[in-house]
């Protein structure tokens, strides 16, 4: 159903909900589906068209539900299948759609399929996962089949005592990878994880780690980039394997083409625009769009993400420009996002979360995002300008497996060297996956109105909830929330230019301001953003035509001042 025409999932704005942290309805400290339903009018009122729900399936929760033990049931603390049906109805009756998270690169090790698979070498489901014999070093030491490092530290191979083989897990050892080479496995995935929900009226999927299903069968060693440790980063070897496009075409033919769906695939480690285009070309039915990660990966360290290195504004401009323009002249489609459940908060990463700049810079980022071509994704709390956890929170307040495992691996490797651990903490303070998972800040009552449990929320509530919360922003026309609503209206009113327009970056070397134009036919908008706390000069490109001020993030400004204030943003039409 893709094509160059206007389709609901192109013009629609998506709102991502992380069920654990949105709203607790029964005072157990954990968010749940009825809690989400109770907020559905708030979501509609924001200007949302499509809700994306992060995994709510049955799961032992080693990776917050990205370890699914049964695709056809709901994690009981979140609710029931009937609750999801009620959520579908709540969305549909308000003219919104609902997409789920499809996590089918791996299952939980508690999934019935894996329990059978590991039960014996001759079990019919043995081949549904990836099993390999040990290698042996010259001195007879047992070694895993290769040196690949898992995303959550340590080897991707886990030894199974019972059947004396290793199984592959690109993520946690409780997340064994499914064997997509086996057609029977693929069919089971389509039935259980996809058709089950599509037949209930779900409108599509955000597809987890979509480019890792095909990883070849040879498993060569990765080159050594992290000296002094056996396991090496290997995503270049297991992403975008030889049968990737074939599998996605099959998934379309056999399942998706029967429904009016949208798909957005998570596409890490794919830096080449030509390669990304192969996934999103409309005629070659694979994926409708993908998340490419260059923007949210800015400053991440090699050899490990949490060895944060920082970045320059010109880097940000360059990556935004690349992924805004790569579909030009093609039938592909793109996405615009700067937050999700795996990323630090955008205000803290790209702008300023200092009290004096927080609101204005959140509004400036809203302007940048709402002016971008592609389907726009907003993550819960982004609309009120939620920020990263305070820097004085100790590691004990962080819960995520990725942060904890890396912290512990460095602690072990360096014999708890305070300098090394300090570096890791600095990285986690910027990039940690826990920041976006803190409870949604609804009001100024205890635990931010997220839960009425006396014991509090499952995750520490951000200290800022009295200053940053929905209740106060709903009634304040000058709030970040009111500004997002206004910007989403503007985006839709001028959708040609903002959703479908041609992006052009201007003055790309400038390290203080980000200026770009969006053009559609004879219509042209100019977006001017000051990414610093200082005043900046701004030369009106008058040769272009007359600038008519459309909107800005400073109260009562009319866009005529030659100088931009700190974190000021303006959008003009060029006439
Ligand atoms: C994706 C998810 C992330 C999860 C991983 C494994 O990257 O966004 O949260 O840990 O896949 O499923
Ligand atoms: Ca609950």
CA distance 264 to 375: 10
SS3 call for 86 = helix
Mutate to test the pocket of ligand 1, among 62, 66, 109, 399 (most ligand atoms within 8 A of CB): 66
Per-residue pLDDT of the chain (575 residues; tens, 9 = 90+): 344 457 999 999 999 999 999 999 999 999 999 999 999 999 999 999 999 999 999 999 999 999 999 999 999 999 999 999 999 999 999 999 999 999 999 999 999 999 999 999 999 999 999 999 999 999 999 999 999 999 999 999 999 999 999 999 999 999 999 999 999 999 999 999 999 999 999 999 999 999 999 999 999 999 999 888 999 999 999 999 999 999 999 999 999 999 999 999 999 999 999 999 999 998 899 999 999 999 999 999 988 999 999 999 999 999 999 999 999 999 999 999 999 999 999 999 999 999 999 999 999 999 999 999 999 999 999 999 999 999 999 999 999 999 999 999 999 999 999 999 999 999 999 999 999 999 999 999 999 999 999 999 999 999 999 999 999 999 999 999 999 999 999 999 999 999 999 999 999 999 999 999 999 999 999 999 999 999 999 876 656 678 999 999 999 999 988 899 999 999 999 99
**Which bound ligand lies closest to the C-alpha atom of 26?**
2
Max distance between CA atoms of the chain, in angstroms, equals: 77
Mutate to test the pocket of ligand 1, among 151, 212, 342 (most ligand atoms within 8 A of CB): 342
Output 353-357 pairs: Cβ under 8 A, ≥24 positions apart: 353/387, 353/388, 354/533, 355/467, 357/533, 357/566, 357/567
Distance 501 CA to ligand 1 centre (A): 31
Closest ligand 1 atom, CA of 152?
10
Q: Which residue in the block uniquely carries the two structure tokens 């997509």?
A: 180
Q: What sign does the dihedral 119-122-123-129 (CA atoms) show?
A: positive
Output 154-163 pairs: Cβ under 8 A, ≥24 positions apart: 154/231, 154/405, 154/409, 155/230, 155/231, 156/231, 156/234, 157/132, 159/134, 160/118, 160/131, 162/118, 162/119, 163/118, 163/119, 163/120, 163/121, 163/131
| Catalytic residue (choose from 83, 231, 266, 359) | 266
Contact between residue 17 and residue 170 where contact means Cβ atoms under 8 Å apart? no
Distance 66 CA to ligand 1 centre (A): 6
Closest ligand 1 atom, CA of 103?
12
Among the listed residues 72, 70, 65, the one whose alpha carbon sits nearest the alpha carbon of residue 19: 65
CB of 208 within 6 A of ligand 1: the answer is: yes
Distance 407 CA to ligand 2 centre (A): 30
SS3 call for 90 = helix
Q: Are strands 502-506 and 513-520 parallel, antiparallel or unpaired?
A: antiparallel
Three-point CA angle 393, 297, 565, nearest 5°:
75
Q: How many C-beta atoms lie closer than 10 Å to residue 26's C-beta?
A: 14
Query: Which tokens in the block code for residue 200?
Result: 């209930």
| C-alpha radius of gyration, the chain, whole number | 24
| Atom 4 of ligand 1: nearest residue by CA position | 66
Helices 401-413/418-431 angle, 10° precision: 170
CB of 177 within 6 A of ligand 1: the answer is: no
CB of 157 within 6 A of ligand 1: the answer is: no
CB of 61 within 6 A of ligand 1: the answer is: no
CA distances from 472 to 101, 446, 462, 465, 475 (A): 31, 15, 16, 10, 6
What is the pLDDT at residue 303? 80
Q: What sign does the dihedral 274-279-282-284 (CA atoms) show?
A: positive
Q: What is the DSSP letter of 129?
A: B
Closest ligand 1 atom, CA of 402?
10
Query: Which tokens in the block code for residue 178?
Result: 């499914």
**Which bound ligand lies closest to the C-alpha atom of 265?**
1
Structurally, at CATH architecture level, domain 8-106+183-394+440-480 sits in: Alpha-Beta Barrel (3.20)
CB of 52 within 6 A of ligand 1: the answer is: no
- DSSP code per residue over 474-509: HT-TTSHHHHHHHHHHHHHHTHHHHTTPEEEEESTT
For 118, half-sphere exposure in the C-beta direction (CA atoms, 13 angstrom radius) is 21
What is the pLDDT at residue 2? 41
Among the listed residues 426, 438, 491, 432, the one whose alpha carbon sits nearest the alpha carbon of residue 468: 438
Mutate to test the pocket of ligand 1, among 104, 171, 296 (most ligand atoms within 8 A of CB): 171
Among the listed residues 126, 132, 115, 107, the one whose alpha carbon sits nearest the alpha carbon of residue 216: 132
Distance 208 CA to ligand 1 centre (A): 6
CB of 171 within 6 A of ligand 1: the answer is: yes
CB of 67 within 6 A of ligand 1: the answer is: no
CB of 101 within 6 A of ligand 1: the answer is: no
CB of 63 within 6 A of ligand 1: the answer is: yes
| Catalytic residue (choose from 24, 83, 203, 208) | 208
Contacts of 392 (CB under 8 A, 6+ apart): none
SS3 call for 448 = helix
What is the pLDDT at residue 542? 59
The phi and psi torsions of 267 (rounded to 5 degrees) equal: -125, 70
| Atom 6 of ligand 1: nearest residue by CA position | 66
Contacts of 401 (CB under 8 A, 6+ apart): 62, 63, 152, 172
Contacts of 448 (CB under 8 A, 6+ apart): 439, 440, 441, 442, 461, 462, 465, 469
Q: Are strands 204-207 and 165-168 parallel, antiparallel or unpaired?
A: unpaired
| Atom 7 of ligand 1: nearest residue by CA position | 209
Three-point CA angle 530, 534, 535, nearest 5°:
75
For 90, half-sphere exposure in the C-beta direction (CA atoms, 13 angstrom radius) is 19
| Atom 9 of ligand 1: nearest residue by CA position | 342
Closest ligand 1 atom, CA of 433?
9
Query: Which tokens in the block code for residue 232?
Result: 């090496």
Mutate to test the pocket of ligand 1, among 67, 172, 205, 209 (most ligand atoms within 8 A of CB): 209
CB of 291 within 6 A of ligand 1: the answer is: no
Closest ligand 1 atom, CA of 67?
12
208 is catalytic: yes
Enter the pTM of the model. 0.97
| Atom 2 of ligand 1: nearest residue by CA position | 208
| Spans of all domains in the chain | 8-106+183-394+440-480, 501-574
501-574 — its CATH code? 2.60.40.1180
């Amino acid at each position: 159903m893709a094509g160059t025409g206007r389709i609901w999932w192109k013009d629609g704005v998506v709102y991502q909900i992380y069920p654990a942290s949105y709203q607790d309805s029964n005072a157990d400290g954990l968010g749940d589906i009825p809690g989400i339903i109770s907020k559905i009018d708030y979501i509609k009122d924001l200007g949302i068209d499509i809700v994306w729900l992060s995994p709510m399936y049955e799961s032992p929760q080693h990776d917050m539900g990205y370890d699914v033990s049964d695709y056809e049931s709901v994690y009981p603390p979140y609710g029931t299948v009937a609750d999801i049906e009620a959520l579908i109805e709540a969305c549909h009756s308000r003219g919104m759609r609902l997409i789920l998270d499809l996590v089918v690169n791996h299952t939980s090790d508690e999934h019935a399929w894996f329990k059978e698979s590991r039960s014996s070498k001759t079990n019919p489901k043995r081949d549904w996962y990836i099993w390999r014999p040990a290698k042996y070093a010259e001195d007879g030491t047992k070694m895993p089949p290769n040196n690949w490092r898992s995303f959550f530290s340590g080897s991707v191979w886990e030894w199974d005592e019972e059947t004396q083989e290793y199984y592959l897990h690109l993520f946690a050892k409780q997340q064994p990878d499914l064997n997509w080479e086996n057609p029977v496995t693929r069919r089971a995935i389509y039935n259980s994880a996809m058709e089950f929900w599509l037949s209930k009226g779900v409108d599509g999927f955000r597809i987890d780690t979509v480019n890792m299903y095909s990883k070849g069968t040879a498993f060569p060693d990765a080159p050594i980039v992290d000296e002094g440790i056996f396991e090496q980063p290997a995503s270049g070897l297991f992403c975008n394997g030889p049968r990737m496009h074939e599998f996605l075409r099959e998934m379309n033919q056999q399942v998706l083409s029967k429904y009016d769906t949208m798909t957005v695939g998570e596409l890490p480690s794919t830096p080449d625009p030509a390669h990304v285009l192969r996934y999103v070309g409309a005629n070659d039915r694979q994926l409708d769009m993908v998340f490419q990660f260059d923007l949210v990966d800015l400053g991440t360290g090699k050899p490990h993400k949490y060895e944060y290195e920082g970045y320059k504004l010109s880097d940000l401009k360059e990556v935004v420009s690349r992924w805004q323009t790569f579909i030009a002249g093609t039938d592909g489609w793109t996405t615009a996002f700067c937050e999700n459940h795996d990323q630090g908060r955008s205000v803290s990463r790209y702008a300023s979360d200092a009290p004096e700049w927080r609101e204005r810079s959140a509004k400036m980022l809203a302007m940048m995002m709402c002016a971008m071509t592609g389907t726009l994704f907003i993550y819960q709390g982004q609309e009120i300008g939620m920020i990263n956890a305070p820097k004085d929170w100790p590691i004990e307040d962080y819960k995520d497996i990725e942060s904890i495992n890396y912290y512990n691996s460095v602690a072990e490797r360096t014999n708890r060297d305070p300098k090394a651990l300090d570096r890791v903490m600095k990285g986690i303070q910027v990039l940690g996956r826990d920041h976006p998972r803190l409870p949604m800040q609804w009001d100024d009552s205890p635990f931010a109105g997220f839960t009425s449990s006396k014991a509090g929320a499952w995750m520490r509530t951000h200290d800022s909830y009295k200053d940053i919360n929905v209740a106060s922003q709903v009634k304040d026309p000058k709030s970040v929330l009111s500004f997002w609503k206004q910007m989403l209206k503007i985006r839709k009113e001028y959708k040609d230019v903002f959703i479908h327009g041609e992006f052009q970056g201007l003055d790309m070397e400038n390290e203080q301001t980000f200026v770009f134009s969006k053009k559609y036919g004879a219509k042209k908008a100019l977006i001017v953003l000051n990414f610093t706390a200082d005043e900046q000069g701004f030369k009106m490109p008058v040769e272009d035509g007359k600038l008519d001020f459309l909107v800005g993030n400073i109260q009562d400004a009319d866009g005529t001042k030659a100088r931009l204030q700190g974190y000021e943003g303006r959008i003009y039409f060029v006439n």
